[in-house]
Homo-oligomer: A and B are copies of this chain.
Amino acid sequence: MDITEFFQQSTGKWFSQRTNHHLTLKQMGGGKSDLYIELVSKDNFAITQLCQQYGIDPRLAPYGVQITWNGTVEWDQKKQTGSTLLVPVADPDKPNEGKLLREVGQSEKTPVAGQYTMGRDDVLTLITEQKTFYSEERLWFASPNLRLRSSILKQVGGGSIASFCSEIRMGGVQATNTTH
């Protein structure tokens, strides 16, 4: 599986259960969310803009991945909603590795791309390193309709958090064929 096949299989509507293990505080927390994952055509202006923010030629971006969530966490009744755009840019020398650009939140001034590796065992590893944190995430399909994610987040001057998400497909593949 290459990263495009991985994202194609990720498209659709998912029900996601998330657990955080605070390793320093030894406490757990959880949340549930609906998740919509769609592929976005490369001619979408948001992709061009995202590439420019990262100083990357937009012609290197094959497509975007739009992720939208709508859920709740245990400690807050307020709905947690949001959306982000990811853009994979393959390393010209290593087809299974590359950068993963991510829409920059308003609080983050310097965009730092994640580094992805698509393993031979079909596990997608994503490492993001910034001044204030280091995160390492693994994503894989236990079956075509069950996606799992685990991550470790190490915060500078703060605790570490291990997270786990199980995502069950609730709706069919919604991909529009925009990747070619």
Contacts and interface: CB of A to CB of B under 8 A. Distances in A.
Interface string A111-153: 0000000011101000000000000100000100010101010
Given A119-B121, A150-B150, A30 B32 contact: no
Given A142-B162, A148-B150, A148-B162, A15 B26 contact: yes
B26 A28 contact: no
A91 B70 CA distance: 47
A152 B143 CA distance: 10
A23 B146 contact: yes
A17 interface: yes
B121 A21 contact: no
Interface of A: 15, 17, 19, 21, 23, 26, 28, 30, 32, 119-121, 123, 136, 142, 146, 148, 150, 152, 160, 162, 164, 166, 168
6 contacts: A19-B19, A19-B30, A23-B146, A26-B32, A28-B30, A162-B164
